[in-house]
Structure 1
Amino acid sequence: MTRQHSAPPGTAPAGPAAPATGWWRDAVIYQIYPRSFADGNEDGTGDLPGIRDRLPHLRDLGVDAVWLSPFYASPQADGGYDVADYRAVDPRFGTLADAEAVFREAHRLGLRVIIDIVPNHCSDHHAWFRRAVAEGPGSVHRERFHFRPGRGRDGELPPNDWESVFGGPAWTRLADGEWYLHLFAPEQPDFNWDHPAVQDEFRSILRFWLDLGVDGFRVDVAHGMVKAPGLPDIGHGEQARLIGSQVLPFFDQDGVHAIYRSWRAILDEYPGERIGVAEAWAPTVERLARYVRPGELHQGFNFHYLNTPWDAGALRTAIDTSLTALGAVGAPATWVLSNHDVVRHRTRLGGGLDRARAATLLMLALPGSAYLYQGEELGLPEVTDLPDEVRQDPSFFRASGQDGLRDGCRVPLPWSGTEPPYGFGGDKPWLPQPAGWAGLTVQAQTGDPTSTLELYRTALALRRSHPGLGAGAAVEWLPAPDGVLAFRRPGGLVCTVNTTDTDVRLALPPVRQLLSSRAPFTAPRDRAVPAAAGPADVRHLPADTTVWWQE
């Protein structure tokens, strides 16, 4: 049975509105980092025309939606997450007409489009912040941000002990003596979400893009907009992290939920099931589930799962905890292995490409929605040897903070050819590509049944057609030896995962193989099952391998 999703806005025939389907409950959503996806004007930087031209690749891959990282007007102090104008496209990416063309073409191909919204902070080039700085202390525009006098005899000390996620103080002092708050780079001042003008502005921004046809928003730092009253000291020297388990006065405050209830009301006004996705981190999965309660956002990124090591026991705990917490609020689980802020999972998990492929098939077998990051379908590793002089991640240049490795997962994609720029566009991409990527291009992998690209295409086609994959009942765990996961989904789909570095033999109900993460899959002849084991198949499962079976 093939799952049916309602059509994206702009693709449905005339007549009554399509019934709600909850398409987002089991959607596979592909993240595009625009600067590194495809270059349409040959200047070495990815752009919106390049994205539009390469959308057929995503249709053929088999995803349901694309998520575009920021393409707004920005000085690019933090890869576009420092927004100067939320209603304008940065010229390096194209024009507003180019953005609308991407939305239209995606809808024509049956793909939905989710865009980033960055509400915690803006750029120091934003008109509001520039006016606040120019008007000085007492300006009503400063009330839209967090301006404070400093501590110490002459105000020479920051207003509190908060540190930036990127390292160093979370406060910068202006020449007039006041300090302003920035949880990230100094070029990213935090909005004051207690101010009505800030709330009104973002409701207007949402409507602007919804009117242009976007299908939803990924909310950047969704847990960071509201700060504890009085901006109290943390009281310890532990470095704040965007993805961490700390309880902090500027992350996961209860006040954020009123904002998302307001936003959900706007999303629900529009046809086509527009959605909100929280990039939220909370100390527990239960706290994270609050972001996706009825009447708030639709999905929340599962960073608890992303951070889980390649260990059967840890993975089973993460899966069970996620499904229990999200099921309690009626929300789908989401699963993700890589994105633009973390080391690519082929490198992060260790074990090379075999382990990365196994992790992907496990993720795609779980109930709920899955997120893919551009290039993972090609098996791209993290680029760890970028010269210092080409790096652009702001955290790389700070004394402490995040690892500064985000450039390594943002290297432009290889499309074709045998040497850089591999069909990306231009002679010199904005970050250099490794010389050894010729075998990883889309062109090289297309049609090769052993390639990672064809594994993703096959897996996504099965996921779309098989009634036991995607949304639905939770997993039914089956007996398995240490280091192995085995579970059943509806429709007789059985998934087995060997997280160890040795081959194992596994007794299963009578099954036939649908798909293996290891290519080619060569199983030795199985010995007879001992009579005490009951009617079952004994199957060989190689190290770092996931196999989908059909009973």
Structure 2
Amino acid sequence: MKKRELINFQETSLLDGFGHVGSFDGHATQFMQILILIFLQTRFMFATQVSINQKDAVVWGQSQVITGRATGVTTNAAVLYLNGAQHPFTLQYPGNTFSVPIWVGRGMNNIVVGVDSAGQLFFSDTLHLALGYNPVPDLYAFATVSGREITLHSIVVSNPDTAIITYRWTQDSDNPEQVDLGTITDTSVTFSLPQNAPQGEYHFTLTGYTNMNDTMTARTYFTVGASGIRPFDIYTDHAAWIDSSVVYGITPYIFVFEGRFSDITNKIPEVASLGVNTIWVQPVYDTHDGGQGYDVTDYFAVRPDLGTPSDLHMLVNTAHHYGLRVIFDFVPNHTSIYHPYAQDAVKYGQDSHYYDFYERQKDSAPYSNNEHLTTMGKMQFVCYFWNELVNLNLDNPEVRNYIIQAAEYWIKEYDIDGYRFDSAWAVDARDPGFMDTLRLALKRIKPSVMLLGEAKASDPATFDVDGFDVAYDWTSSTSWISQWVFATSYSTNSNPTIFNNSNQNARASLLHNALTNYGHGYSARAKIFRFIENNDTYRFLPTHDLPRTKMAAALEFSLPGIPLIYNGQEIGSPGYPYTSSYIFSRSMSIQSRDNYGLFTYYQDLSHIRTELPALYGNNFQELSVSPNAYVYAYRRWKGDQNVFGLINMGDASVSATVQLPLDSLHLDSSKIYYLSDLLTDRHFPVTASGLSSYNISVDPYTTRLLILADSEVTLEVRSSIASLLPNEFGLEQNYPNPFNSSTVIGFNLPHTDNAILQVYDVLGRHVETLVNGPEAAGQHAVVFNGDRLCSGVYFCVLQYGGLQQVRRMLLLK
């Protein structure tokens, strides 16, 4: 409380009735009057108070309610001052409490409540509420098609400040063909697509400009295919690149010892050579404990122990340069208990703005049997499995907006290509539909993003309600949330799967259940995230053996869905992800740590997967096969392309007889066909009649992938790293160039040998040595940071095997 008008000590009117104390002399009488004045003033000041309940906060909604109380006042008239603007209101009786709705603006908002009591003004302390985001209009762009005529439309989803918006439409420069958009400054544009327009996706951007100097964008696209033109449906569709994606999962802090973003950037060329086309990077946000990074303390800050924002930009840009999409890990379910918002609630309890940001009581939602309570200070939290990971309350509109704003930020700022949503199953359980709301917000910005949910692909609601593009290969069991379909039982110290099940004769039946969702099938929209190991599982090779590892990997890459290679899987890494100190070495290539031939094997699988539409489509059919206790057969197809898989999960070779669906193959009985083994490059001539009951040998613990065609098929699989090695030594031009702060320098070495990579300024003075020592044959990339340098021309010099190349670089700040 602050009393803005103090009693004047010279004023004696308040002493009326007390001036008759005649037994005191003049000085004593004056002294007593002063004492009485001080007493009355102090009593009045302490009796009259105006207080606001809330504490200073960053808020994530413009609609706020200010509550508090005035005590010792003689009136019920009060005023709330919001950034100086007056909002009169009436105190509530009894108790002289108040609850005043306000609408906060951008940036910092200063709030004071004042009451005039008996002609004197009393004010509360100032409450500071900072709006955590910029409330710009939200735009939605979409296309409609009528014959060859396409119309691009715009809708204003929200416009908090009722801003005036002007528009501009543009088309991507790498569209299959440029079209004539006509007038590009209307809310919609209509144009005709030529009959001979190439097939593919045509992407467009709507940019909005406001009279408040805000700029917003929304994107959409349509696809030209053999069957016509199809506009993107934001509610159900996903971009074509997702179908053929092969994901490489990265745990930054153990990628190398004390790993940083720059360590990942340096190995991007070799990761790309593996044949993957997408990298998934575990959380990059600031955390309390580090590690895998799921204890987020700031959704908008780059984790400093991994690098700087510039380092992260360089990682993403380098990946894009090498043709890799990038998805980040995002945590919408919980924060660290040490998040500033959680700690504010711990300190202030109900007076904290963040008291309702977190769950405080258990509920009856699915998986609630896994919930438990943890208490710190004045706050009780709900957790699932980890006491320090506390559940957010997604029923709170501010929390929902906070998560949406954070997820939008990294797409806008870093141009990433999607997210893997951690613990999405928990969000789905407590707040069904929120993830679909998040989907719409993100796909309005960038419709091509991949949204991968750590949730059950076996549950139709994961796709049909929550709107995920991809979800985990988990069973529908509710007692074990993350039961991998290939796992046969829960274990904290082993890895029991179908493939090492002690009852060999049960393996085919178990595999049938795993691949068909126990006969129930999957949602038509389902796209399954396939893996044999990830950041939460035991490594596969140490808990099985090499033949079974290759067998399971070939199965993984030939099933409907999206296959994952988790960093280290390609070299048979033995370390459990939560306890490993590091996976790779800074000074050694990834492949140099492979003692099992797995790196080149995964190259083959990745290439086969991405080259054959039959393998990245959704069609899947079980085939009758004998013996059928531990041999399993299936068909994958798209159009006229057919691939057949046979997996022998037994410990001995078998002569398998498989029944192929002749009626579906539409074969010419007069022709000779070939079944070509994609992994061994063996070819088997067959007739149409001979395929009705086809006999083929399968080695123990082996998956055979056979493609049917009227000629021998040999894919140019990357069976050896030699096919990827550069033929000659070369230093690439750095990118970006010109650059500000950081740039990537790429170089190629045809053989393993000593290499020296140095930077000099324009006067020939040595600036930095980037490489000096033995380097493996292959493609390399090194990040050069010019933070401490002045703008100007610099030269990068590569020396190798008696040769030298120089590139000119331009630093502009």
TM-score, reference length from structure 2: 0.49
Other-structure match for 1:79: 292
The question of 1:270 aligning with 2:445 is answered: yes
What whole-Å deviation, never above 9, does each CA across 1:223-259 have from its counterpart, x for those lacking one? 213xxxxxxxxxxxxxxxxxxxxxxxxxx52x53321
Q: Is the 8 A contact 2:513 2:519 kept in 1?
A: no
SS in 2 for 1:317: helix
Distance in 2 (CA, whole Å) between partners of 1:290 and 1:339 is 24
In the alignment, which of 492, 502, 506 is matched to residue 656 of structure 2? 506
The question of 1:546 aligning with 2:703 is answered: yes
In the alignment, which of 37, 48, 61 is matched to residue 255 of structure 2? 37
Q: Is the 8 A contact 2:346 2:377 kept in 1?
A: no
Q: Is the 8 A contact 1:26 1:370 kept in 2?
A: no
Alignment of 1:283-432 (within 5 A): 286=458, 288-293=459-464, 296-304=467-475, 305-307=485-487, 309-310=498-499, 311-321=507-517, 325-326=521-522, 328-348=523-543, 350=544, 352-382=545-575, 406-408=577-579, 410-415=580-585, 423=588
Distance in 2 (CA, whole Å) between partners of 1:522 and 1:182 is 54
Alignment of 1:474-513 (within 5 A): 474-481=620-627, 482-490=629-637, 491-507=641-657, 511-513=675-677
* One-letter identity of the residue aligned with 1:539: I
Q: Is the 8 A contact 1:366 1:475 kept in 2?
A: no
After TM superposition, give the deviation of residue 28 of structure 1 in Å: 1.2
Equivalent residues, number: 434
In the alignment, which of 220, 240, 248 is matched to residue 422 of structure 2? 220
Q: Is the 8 A contact 1:171 1:179 kept in 2?
A: yes
Distance in 1 (CA, whole Å) between partners of 2:538 and 2:368 is 17
Go from structure 1 to structure 2 and tell me whether the alpha carbon gap of 1:161 and 1:317 turns closer, same or farther (over 3 Å shift): closer
Go from structure 1 to structure 2 and tell me whether the alpha carbon gap of 1:422 and 1:11 turns closer, same or farther (over 3 Å shift): farther
Distance in 1 (CA, whole Å) between partners of 2:244 and 2:519 is 13
Other-structure match for 1:52: 265
Root-mean-square deviation over aligned CA pairs = 3.4
Go from structure 1 to structure 2 and tell me whether the alpha carbon gap of 1:271 and 1:90 turns closer, same or farther (over 3 Å shift): closer
Other-structure match for 1:93: 306
After TM superposition, give the deviation of residue 497 of structure 1 in Å: 0.5
Other-structure match for 1:147: 360
Distance in 2 (CA, whole Å) between partners of 1:296 and 1:67 is 20
The question of 1:443 aligning with 2:592 is answered: yes
The question of 1:473 aligning with 2:619 is answered: yes
After TM superposition, give the deviation of residue 330 of structure 1 in Å: 2.2
Q: Which has the higher contact order (CA 8 A, sep 6+)?
A: 1
Distance in 2 (CA, whole Å) between partners of 1:134 and 1:331 is 44
After TM superposition, give the deviation of residue 411 of structure 1 in Å: 4.6
Q: Is the 8 A contact 2:421 2:452 kept in 1?
A: yes
Go from structure 1 to structure 2 and tell me whether the alpha carbon gap of 1:100 and 1:534 turns closer, same or farther (over 3 Å shift): closer
The question of 1:463 aligning with 2:658 is answered: no
SS in 1 for 2:336: coil
SS in 2 for 1:58: helix
Distance in 1 (CA, whole Å) between partners of 2:682 and 2:243 is 35
TM-score, reference length from structure 1: 0.71
* Structure number having the greater helix percentage: 1
Deviates most, 18-27 or 485-494: 18-27
Distance in 2 (CA, whole Å) between partners of 1:294 and 1:467 is 28
SS in 2 for 1:279: strand
After TM superposition, give the deviation of residue 292 of structure 1 in Å: 1.2
Alignment of 1:169-180 (within 5 A): 170-176=372-378, 178-180=379-381
Distance in 2 (CA, whole Å) between partners of 1:542 and 1:363 is 18
What whole-Å deviation, never above 9, does each CA across 1:29-77 have from its counterpart, x for those lacking one? 1111111223xxxxx3111111111111221111121111112111226
* One-letter identity of the residue aligned with 2:578: D
* One-letter identity of the residue aligned with 1:487: Y
Go from structure 1 to structure 2 and tell me whether the alpha carbon gap of 1:377 and 1:77 turns closer, same or farther (over 3 Å shift): closer
After TM superposition, give the deviation of residue 444 of structure 1 in Å: 5.2
Q: Is the 8 A contact 2:434 2:466 kept in 1?
A: no
Distance in 2 (CA, whole Å) between partners of 1:274 and 1:65 is 12
* One-letter identity of the residue aligned with 2:311: D
Distance in 1 (CA, whole Å) between partners of 2:521 and 2:556 is 18
Q: Is the 8 A contact 2:333 2:391 kept in 1?
A: yes
Go from structure 1 to structure 2 and tell me whether the alpha carbon gap of 1:186 and 1:455 turns closer, same or farther (over 3 Å shift): same
SS in 1 for 2:424: coil
Q: Is the 8 A contact 1:322 1:333 kept in 2?
A: no
After TM superposition, give the deviation of residue 422 of structure 1 in Å: 7.1
In the alignment, which of 375, 378, 387 is matched to residue 186 of structure 1? 387
SS in 2 for 1:549: strand
After TM superposition, give the deviation of residue 182 of structure 1 in Å: 2.1
Go from structure 1 to structure 2 and tell me whether the alpha carbon gap of 1:12 and 1:32 turns closer, same or farther (over 3 Å shift): farther
Distance in 2 (CA, whole Å) between partners of 1:174 and 1:368 is 43
Q: Is the 8 A contact 1:10 1:107 kept in 2?
A: no
Distance in 1 (CA, whole Å) between partners of 2:575 and 2:650 is 23
Distance in 2 (CA, whole Å) between partners of 1:105 and 1:86 is 23
Question: Structure 2: any 5+ residue segments left out of the alignment?
Answer: 1-170, 179-201, 204-220, 224-238, 476-484, 489-497, 500-506, 661-673, 709-813
> What percent of counterpart residues are identical?
23
Distance in 2 (CA, whole Å) between partners of 1:165 and 1:442 is 44
The structure whose Rg is larger is: 2
Go from structure 1 to structure 2 and tell me whether the alpha carbon gap of 1:133 and 1:27 turns closer, same or farther (over 3 Å shift): same
SS in 2 for 1:543: coil
Other-structure match for 1:206: 407
Q: Is the 8 A contact 1:335 1:363 kept in 2?
A: yes
After TM superposition, give the deviation of residue 219 of structure 1 in Å: 0.8
Q: Is the 8 A contact 2:657 2:693 kept in 1?
A: yes
Q: Is the 8 A contact 2:347 2:377 kept in 1?
A: no
SS in 1 for 2:455: coil
SS in 2 for 1:340: coil
After TM superposition, give the deviation of residue 463 of structure 1 in Å: 1.4
Go from structure 1 to structure 2 and tell me whether the alpha carbon gap of 1:206 and 1:535 turns closer, same or farther (over 3 Å shift): closer
Other-structure match for 1:236: none
* One-letter identity of the residue aligned with 1:442: Q
SS in 2 for 1:214: coil
Q: Is the 8 A contact 1:26 1:367 kept in 2?
A: no
SS in 2 for 1:189: strand
Distance in 1 (CA, whole Å) between partners of 2:332 and 2:260 is 23
The question of 1:134 aligning with 2:347 is answered: yes
